[in-house]
A and B are shown apart, each in its own frame.
Chain A
Amino acid sequence: MQDFNRYIPHTEEEIHKMLDAIGIRKLEDLFQTIPREVRLSKALNLPEPLPEPELFHHFQRLQTPVMSSFLGAGAYHHFIPAIVSSLVSRSEFYTAYTPYQPEISQGTLQAIFEYQTLMCQLTGMEVSNASLYDGASSLAEAVMMANRVTRRKKVLLSQTLHPEYRRVIQTYIDPDQQEIILIPYEKGGGRTDEKMLFDLLNEEVSAVVIQSPNFFGVIEDLRPIGEKIHHLGGLMIVGFSEPIAYGMLHPPGATGADIVAGEGQSLGIPLSYGGPYLGIFTTQERFVRNMPGRLVGETIDLDGKRGFVLTLATREQHIRRERATSNICTNEGLCALMATVYLSCLGKEGLRELAMMNLSRAEYTKKIISLIHGCKVNFTGPTFNEFVLKIEKDPKKVLEKLKKEKIIGGFPLVKFYPELDHHLLVTVTEMNKREEIDRWANALERALKG
């Protein structure tokens, strides 16, 4: 008996009955419309099937050892309450499709409506879609939307925007039709260089894209930028990679953002080597018909009872086809559900306290660093839970030494910023206990000495 049969219920007898009913003799006849000469004559070259116990064993060997880590840079290690996994593992949620039949999808639909509301509250905006792929592609969609709304083609990207997000925006934009200009950062503060930005702003600019907290962890001052770009008829797009920060920071909506797009992984979604994550996308009501992605709306049924449906679908590819606002179909629904459960659980006070704890641990870390020779905090701007550390020794060697002590000490910025060749991005969340921070600091001190 072949092991794979556990997923395929047919018995030989049933197969014969079904073939008889169809009026053919053998399975091969099912494929009579495929020209014989292209049909395969030999089996695919794949490994022998693994029974379930062996399968487990196989994967155990592929796992990566979990170490003490000070990595962030767009993906954050936060505590995920047990109820998130427990509720999201209900198969009525995860084995359902997109809620095209609302009467038997009210669970998914109500949860998305709640998600949309939470995202509006978190970012201070008026409408949220049901999610996009990730923070980077969400920002790329935001840029395309801004170009549609303003009918302009020039976009200014801050150099402090996550370099991978910048790269994705560049991929989405057709360089023959649209233009991207990079705004440098201030060497001292680590913020977007406002003066340079203002010099480059004019009435041809469709949008300015700024991330806050930015890739260096520095909190940007968005309001003056928003005012200036609005004056010139363009839009401000605010990106983010660490939404926990909004537990204490001013929401972008209150600073004049027209579109807020970023990464929601921090909200209860595992690191999972980079995906699946959650593309958050919120905007103002006046732009709703230009928005990409699905939307859930409230309505009533024939008896007047409250219910939820997918709505304003005429923007989408299955109806508007070649003129849709985006080609997205499958989104990150289950990750949006994770974020909804996570935020329901943390609630108003919890998210705030969590944000405070992240800030406090990062500040504690900065403080003990000031006692170590050979390194210093590189930028003066205020930060949330990550910051740039400048070290005198070669960061590669230092990181290697820390790795020997089972610590991943930070992210070497030279990968994206050649000029920051002695710089590490260090991230501290609520998962990095004080003793772990101390251990890291001691290891760093030894590495810088030795």
Chain B
Amino acid sequence: MAKIKDTGLIQDEPLIFEQGGKGRKGYSLPRWDVEVAEAQSLIPTQLLREELIGFPQLSEVDVVRHFTRLSQWNYGVDSGLYPLGSCTMKYNPKVNEEIVKMSGFSNIHPYTPEDLSQGILKLMHELQSFLAEITGMDEVSLQPAAGAHGELAGMMMVRACLEARGERRKKVLVPDTAHGTNCSTSTIASYQMVEIKSNEKGVIPSEKVAELMDDEVAAIMVTNPNTLGLFEENLGKIAEVVHRKGGFVYCDGANLNALMGILKLGDLGVDVVHINLHKTFSTPHGGGGPGAGPVAVKNELAPYLPIPVIEKDGEIYRLNDDRPYSIGKMRAFYGNFGVLVKAYAYILSMGAEGLKRVSEMAVLNANYLMKKLKGHYHLPYDRPCMHECVFTDRFQEKYHVSTLDIAKRLIDYGFHPPTIYFPLVVKGALMMEPTETESKESIDRFIETMVQIAEEAKEHPDLLRQAPQRAKVRRLDEVLAARKPKLRWTGNQ
């Protein structure tokens, strides 16, 4: 295939530091209405800086062109299907983006007196109770800024609760299908991780847990549905085993999108769960953040929630700092409020029936995709999936084509690739999560493309190995980047 040259839309754009020039100005400050202070007489000279070396000098137009061009090299959910497994790349409603910009939210200082911010506190309090209802838990903290942050808060609460009982347990059980964050969270919470092997059905066998569970184990960390997109069908039994030995069940709620209105995690014996609002509750991922990772607990862990907790006292809402058993604070102030507003708006837009519909359609889309691609790609766990399904490159291996090649070829066809090489238990994994906001046509087009790529792998494997050809750049030298790290611009050497 001929190499497609750059088009007008993806021409090169230098770094901001490589353009503009001395004296060019892109800012507009308020009028000077006070005397200019004499810095040298107020602040010792050795504490003052000469100039901001390297800082850009651009006009407003320069800045607008620059970032507009950069945006055109990106692919977002608004560009098309984004089947990144475990990340729930669903549509992000525009109305929520508008709501969060309202001045009475965006310009409000976190230390605004409580009597003035009753509306904001009411919003947060209601969101707490919605999330408790959806997960079947008793209390919620909105403080954690992301999933992994919620995990850490959760595991710290487990530790604090055990300490209050006079126990210092050492271990946490984590299945081999877990997100990497579960493993690092347990270490940061001062626990040693013990891995549990999932079985041939792709789920955790309760007998294995029974074998490993003793009074040294603080908790088990489970993702349900798990990262293979399968429902952990033994979780009820596992919870019994863990509780009998005085341990806790932590659930990574990253995949809650499959379960809303279908079941409550609390009913399965889960003691603590974090919820990724940027996955299940449609807040945008922002190219890597911000997210929000509220953590929901059963009553036994509630005294340990991070402070402050938003409480309702008669008709008055307040931030309660006075919780003597609290693990403390996970961050300054109260949480990623802007993200909370969007998630709250989403729940209000959907209602109970809507959220159930979300889960049904998410699972329908994934199963439909799985059924249609089966035969073209190897399906390691051939059983009904939940919101996502995992294929591998085993059928394509004989043409010397890998998961990476398949992923890169999808880019040429205008799709974002699925999650690749995760979960680690599946060699060459392609983990696909279409989400409920994709229509049948959209999924059919993706399926058609995937089938065509499987054909190309046989007939013209080089098309895959050389892909992508139609993106801003071709494959990048990651080895060079890691061997000789260049992590900032240092001038035109």
CB–CB A137/B188 < 8 A: no
B357 contacts across to A, CB distance below 8 A: 2, 4-5, 8
Chain A residues 38 to 56 lying within 8 A of chain B, measured CB to CB, are 38-40, 43-50, 52, 55-56
Given contacts A17-B440, A271-B110, contact A64 B116 (CB under 8 A): yes
Given contacts A55-B349, A120-B488, A298-B486, contact A75 B145 (CB under 8 A): no
Complex interface: stretch among A149-157, A165-173, A200-208, A227-235: A165-173
Please list 14 pairs of residues, one from A and one from B, whose beta carbons are closer than 8 Å in the complex, sorted by A's number: A50-B348, A103-B411, A107-B74, A133-B145, A144-B188, A167-B328, A249-B43, A273-B112, A320-B184, A321-B180, A322-B183, A324-B180, A347-B24, A356-B36
Interface assignment of B278: CB less than 8 Å from any CB of chain A: yes
Interface assignment of B120: CB less than 8 Å from any CB of chain A: yes
Complex interface: stretch among A111-119, A181-189, A371-379, A442-450: A111-119
Give the CA-CA distance A208 to B337 in the complex, in Å. 31
B278 contacts across to A, CB distance below 8 A: 330
Chain A minimum-CB-distance residue to B254: A329
Q: B29's contact among A89, A276, A329, A350, by CB below 8 Å, is which? A: A350
Give the CA-CA distance A87 to B130 in the complex, in Å. 33
A364 contacts across to B, CB distance below 8 A: 34-35, 37
Minimum CB–CB distance from A185 to chain B (whole Å) comes to 17
Give the CA-CA distance A344 to B250 in the complex, in Å. 43
**Chain A CB within 10 Å — which of B120, B146, B261 has the most?**
B146
CB–CB B55/A351 < 8 A: yes
Proximity bits, A169-180, B CB within 8 Å = 1, else 0: 011101011000
Minimum CB–CB distance from B156 to chain A (whole Å) comes to 7
CB–CB B37/A363 < 8 A: yes
CB–CB B34/A361 < 8 A: yes
Q: B26's contact among A8, A31, A303, A345, by CB below 8 Å, is which? A: A345
Give the CA-CA distance A431 to B15 in the complex, in Å. 31
Chain B residues 243 to 262 lying within 8 A of chain A, measured CB to CB, are 260-262
Interface assignment of A408: CB less than 8 Å from any CB of chain B: yes
Give the CA-CA distance A305 to B10 in the complex, in Å. 13
Interface assignment of A164: CB less than 8 Å from any CB of chain B: yes
Proximity bits, B472-493, A CB within 8 Å = 1, else 0: 1111111011100111110000
CB–CB A297/B481 < 8 A: yes
Given contacts A330-B278, A348-B55, contact A85 B101 (CB under 8 A): yes
CB–CB A165/B71 < 8 A: no
CB–CB A297/B487 < 8 A: yes
Give the CA-CA distance A137 to B333 in the complex, in Å. 11
A35 contacts across to B, CB distance below 8 A: 233, 236
A318 contacts across to B, CB distance below 8 A: 179-181, 422
B79 contacts across to A, CB distance below 8 A: 92, 95
Interface assignment of A434: CB less than 8 Å from any CB of chain B: yes
Q: B133's contact among A46, A164, A343, by CB below 8 Å, is which? A: A46
Chain B minimum-CB-distance residue to A356: B36
Given contacts A55-B348, A328-B148, contact A104 B416 (CB under 8 A): yes
Proximity bits, B78-96, A CB within 8 Å = 1, else 0: 1100101001011111010
Chain A minimum-CB-distance residue to B438: A9
Give the CA-CA distance A284 to B284 in the complex, in Å. 33
Chain B residues 214 to 251 lying within 8 A of chain A, measured CB to CB, are 230-231, 233, 236
CB–CB A300/B477 < 8 A: yes
Chain A minimum-CB-distance residue to B418: A101
Interface assignment of B380: CB less than 8 Å from any CB of chain A: no
Given contacts A104-B75, A335-B290, contact A3 B349 (CB under 8 A): yes
Give the CA-CA distance A401 to B242 in the complex, in Å. 56
Interface assignment of B451: CB less than 8 Å from any CB of chain A: no
Q: B334's contact among A44, A108, A273, by CB below 8 Å, is which? A: A273
B39 contacts across to A, CB distance below 8 A: 248, 356, 359
Given contacts A92-B71, A94-B287, A408-B112, contact A59 B352 (CB under 8 A): no
Q: B70's contact among A60, A106, A144, by CB below 8 Å, is which? A: A106
B184 contacts across to A, CB distance below 8 A: 317, 320-324, 326-327
Minimum CB–CB distance from A326 to chain B (whole Å) comes to 7
B123 contacts across to A, CB distance below 8 A: 62
CB–CB B291/A330 < 8 A: yes
Give the CA-CA distance A32 to B230 in the complex, in Å. 11
B477 contacts across to A, CB distance below 8 A: 299-302
